[in-house]
Amino acid sequence: MLQTIKDWLWWERLWLPEKVSWADLKDKEDRTYAKASQLYASVPCALCLLVVRYLFERYLATPLAKALGIRDKVRLTAEQNSTLEKYFYSQTRNPSQADIRSLCKKTGWPERRVEVWFRRRRNQDRPGLQKRFCEASWRCGFYLCAFLGGLLALYDKPWFYDLKEVWAEFPKQSMLPSQYWYYTLEMGFYLSLLLSLTFDVKRKDFKEQVIHHVATLTLLSFSWISNYIRIGTLVMAVHDSSDIVLEGGKLFNYAQWEKTANVMFVIFTTVFMVTRLVIFPFWLIHCTWVYPLERFDPFFGYYFFNIMLLVLQILHVYWAFLITRMAYKFVFSKQLDGDVRSDEEEDDSDSQKNIKHKMNHINGAMNGARDRANGH
């Protein structure tokens, strides 16, 4: 049974064009080909990156945040109440007015006190500003290094300038050492993001982030095994370019450098729209849909790879919609109030004025002017 599954999984027609077999991709004296077993290197790489990230955030990012005057807001702790705590975890973090009235009867508390308790309890679970700064600085640093490393690996390659060269001699294309390290680091990074989702800053697009990371890892794994490595490196470079500006904009926003943050938002919006809505669909996806058919008949891998690219493109369109909303507010108000992906830290005072104001905006609150793309 297991042998049958293995034979089907590695059936050549799933991964390779017709008239090409795994035997054709065995290493020779002058050629080295990518192997599925090499993907295992991304697991220890991810674990190492988690360790490096911990050290980076503790000994570099945190002192930098303090030097820039970034401090966590002092939060009031919610009172001990087992009834409300059980409801908070088992039912909802944002009870309706009818639910609040029902809880008032169970606890004997007035409505205002119950409302304040839920605001304080929600705030307790929200990450502080320093944690957000540290997370953004780590991602910004990695994306910058990855993008520069990608350019270094691509600048002298013919397929960087002529996309038809991506398919020259496909799939019998020798693997380069620079491609191996580029893939290993990128896959290790996205795997580390997937492993750290439980303790990273959570956004409203948490599910989209999971889909993005899984789709990216699936796409990179398949492209490696099928020797779609050339187009894979181009896809990674295009994605990293806008992520640098995104995370950099967050850093300036957290440091309250408003003018610089606004400039970064304009740059990010421009780079994102050009790379994700123009270059990615009309150059790279066009390259994977059209040019291969000039050399071989479509096979399962051809369709699968392009479907995964379309999944990423759907996420790009979704995030572009969120960015457009932010850009609209920026143009007409000359400032950004926040991000529709994030939860605002609520005022946990018990004044009636603050309660009414915050309860009217609790589900539409936005925080962090530039956290809107990629799921990162």
22-35 burial code (b ≥16 CB/10 A, e <16): eeebeeeeeeebbe
335-369 burial code (b ≥16 CB/10 A, e <16): ebebbbbbbbbbebeeeeeebeebbeebeebbbbb
Q: How far is CA 240 from CA 150, 267, 276, 304, 313, in A?
A: 9, 14, 11, 23, 15
Q: State the Cα–Cα distance between residues 274 and 226, nearest whole angstrom.
A: 28
Chain-centre distance of CA 369, in angstroms?
Answer: 17
Half-sphere exposure of 329 (CA within 13 A, CB side): 16
Residues 5-48: tens digit of each pLDDT:
777 778 887 888 888 888 888 888 778 899 989 999 999 999 99
225-253 burial code (b ≥16 CB/10 A, e <16): bbbbbbbbbbbbbbbbbbbbbbbbbbbbb
Q: What is the pLDDT of residue 340?
A: 45
What is the CATH superfamily name and number for domain 82-125?
Answer: Homeodomain-like (1.10.10.60)
Q: What is the pLDDT of residue 1?
A: 67
Question: Which residue pairs from 325-331 have beta carbons closer than 8 angstroms and sit at least 24 positions apart in sequence?
Answer: 326/265, 326/269, 326/369, 326/370, 326/372, 327/265, 327/269, 330/262, 330/265, 330/266
Preceding omega of 171 cis (within 30 degrees of 0): yes
Chain-centre distance of CA 286, in angstroms?
Answer: 24
Q: How far is CA 118 from CA 87, 93, 133, 272, in A?
A: 10, 7, 26, 37
Which residues does 51 contact at the CB level (< 8 Å), separation at least 6? Answer: none
Q: Is the dihedral of CA 115, 345, 211, 46 positive or negative?
A: negative
* HEC sequence for 249-307: HHHHHHCCCHHHHHHHHHHHHHHHHHHHHHHHHHHHHHHHHCHHHHCCCCCHHHHHHHH
Helix axes 82-90, 97-107, angle to 10 degrees: 150
Q: State the Cα–Cα distance between residues 343 and 207, nearest whole angstrom.
A: 15
289-303 burial code (b ≥16 CB/10 A, e <16): bebbeeebeebebbe
Cα dihedral 161, 165, 167, 169 in deg (nearest 10):
-150
Residues 103-150: tens digit of each pLDDT:
898 888 998 988 888 888 888 777 788 989 999 999 999 999 999 999
Q: Tokens 């929200």 appear where? A: 126
Q: Is the dihedral of CA 274, 277, 281, 282 positive or negative?
A: negative
Q: State the Cα–Cα distance between residues 66 and 58, nearest whole angstrom.
A: 11
Q: What is the pLDDT along the chain (376 residues), one digit of tens a residue?
A: 677 777 777 888 788 888 888 888 888 877 889 998 999 999 999 999 999 999 999 999 999 999 998 887 777 788 888 888 888 888 888 888 888 889 898 888 998 988 888 888 888 777 788 989 999 999 999 999 999 999 999 999 999 999 999 999 888 899 999 999 999 999 999 999 988 887 777 666 677 778 888 888 988 999 999 899 999 999 999 999 999 999 999 999 999 898 999 999 999 999 999 999 999 999 999 999 999 998 888 988 899 999 989 988 998 999 899 899 888 887 776 555 554 444 455 555 554 444 444 444 433 333 343 344 344 4
Joined tokens for residue 41: 């290197």
Among 7, 85, 73, 68, which Cα is nearest to 250's?
A: 68
Q: Tokens 């002529």 appear where? A: 162
Q: Which helix (H) or strand (E) holds 356?
A: helix 352-361
Domains of the chain, by residue range, sit at: 31-67+127-333, 82-125
